Amino acid sequence: MRFASLVCLAALFPTLATADEMWSTPYGYVAWEDTQGDIAVFRMMGDDGQTPGTMRIFVPGLPNDVMGGRHVYFGYWTDPAADEPCTFDVLDAMGNKSPSWGRLTLNFLDPEFPSNWAGLSGYCFDEPSIQINATPAFGIGD
The answer to whether 79 and 98 have CB atoms below 8 angstroms apart is yes
The pLDDT assigned to 140 comes to 60
Residue 40 burial (CB < 10 Å; 0-12/13-18/19+)? buried
Between residues 49 and 66, which one has the greater pLDDT?
49
Span 25-33, average pLDDT:
93
Domain boundaries, the chain: 21-136
The pLDDT assigned to 77 comes to 96
Span 41-57, average pLDDT:
90
pTM assigned to the model:
0.81
Smallest CA-to-CA distance from 112 within 70, 59, 53 is with 70
Instruction: Indicate if the pLDDT at residue 114 is higher than 60.
Output: yes
Instruction: Indicate if the pLDDT at residue 19 is higher than 70.
Output: no
pLDDT digits (tens, 9 = 90+) for 91-105: 999 999 999 999 999
Cβ–Cβ contacts within 10 Å for residue 29, how many? Answer: 22
- Name the average pLDDT for the chain: 83
